[in-house]
Amino acid sequence: MSATPNAGALDSETLATLDPSGQTADVLGLPDHLRDAVWKAESADIPGWDSPGGLIVAGMGGSAIGGRIARAILGDQASRPIVAVRGYGLPAWTTQEATVLCLSYSGETEETLACFEAAGVLGARRIVATTGGRLAQAARAEGVPVLPMAGGLQPRHAVAYSTVASLHAAALCGAGPGLTTEIDVAAEHLEQLAADWGPESPADSEAKALARAIYGTVPVIAGAGLTASLAYRWKSQINENAKQPAFASVLPELDHNEIVGWSSAADFGRFSAVFLDDSDDTPRIAERIAVTREIIGPGSAGTHLVATRGLTAVERAFSLVLLGDLVSLYLAVLNGVDPAPIEPIEELKRRLG
């Protein structure tokens, strides 16, 4: 892995040299993805129902993150439990009073297929969000409603579709309110942020400056409340797009263990810390971030504070989705790699058969 000669530019021309499949365009298309996801969900015309057991969102990787972001967005507006699960099975407490949303962009994710089958055995209400594959086939065969997703994307770039599907499923089963208006407003807000942070933005725009600041380090992304799921999103996008290690942590928990490890971090490598801050979080989190940065600073390659933008939870959450995605793409350029391929994942799938 080596930096491209013109990596410092981080402009459209430089991105094009390492992004021939147009991953950047897919990231910048987030506002349109949100609008299209709402249209697809509403056009499916699925009648609502009452689900006292709440909503379980089953998915993996890029498909799973939508469930976590949706739960964070709903916050205390959620009137029933909403749980995101990653794995081959549903929680032991799952009953037929729960609704299970099975999310798989490809429709071929074996863990999600297993959850779909398990939910059917339990007699739980099921709903599917996918582009096709065996999951869509099974849903049609068993009369399970399907929320369609736009094809032609890397699963990780379908975050708007997986999040909107999760929010829509929550509204359908009575676990949360409908947020169509908030999503429309957020899409408009994101268009301005895309201009502020995108390839045509100034060299010192927030996304480009942060990418340069953490380049050559192992970033540890920390969040709390709304931003906890977004920290994991940043971590996974850096893993897949920039092809490098990155890790996610949660406040205040990290202050009870991880903070000690930073005292010798420099002995093991160059680690940077990125704290995602939300204006609606408890003031104690902001205080913790400030003090934590001071304490871990000497052992780190740098600490950085990133704030959400916007008024509603949807706006604020997706502002950091967009920013993190762009930072990961700029890191890919700095690392001299094409953000699209995910060969280790494909190899693992081949070896597992």
Kindly give the confidence (pLDDT) of every residue in the chain, 353 residues in length, as a single tens digit, with 9 standing for 90 and above: 544 445 567 988 889 899 999 999 999 999 999 999 999 999 999 999 999 999 999 999 988 899 999 999 999 999 999 999 999 999 999 999 999 999 999 999 999 999 999 999 999 999 999 999 999 999 999 999 999 999 999 999 999 999 999 999 999 999 999 999 999 999 999 999 999 999 999 999 999 999 999 999 999 999 999 999 999 999 999 999 999 999 999 999 999 999 999 999 999 999 999 999 999 999 999 999 999 999 999 999 999 999 999 999 999 999 999 999 999 999 999 999 999 999 999 999 999 98
Q: Which domains are assigned to the chain? A: 7-19+200-335 (3.40.50.10490), 27-178 (3.40.50.10490)
| 166/70 Cα distance (integer angstroms) | 6
Q: 10: exposed, middle or buried (C-beta count within 10 Å: 0-12, 13-18, 19+)?
A: buried
Tens digits of residue pLDDT in 195-205? 999 999 999 99
Tens digits of residue pLDDT in 169-188? 999 999 999 999 999 999 99
| 177/48 Cα distance (integer angstroms) | 12
331: part of which helix (H) or strand (E)?
A: helix 313-335
Residues designated catalytic: 240, 256, 349
| 335/212 Cα distance (integer angstroms) | 11
3-state secondary structure of 14: helix
> How many H-runs (helices) and E-runs (strands) does the chain carry?
14, 9
| 300/272 Cα distance (integer angstroms) | 5
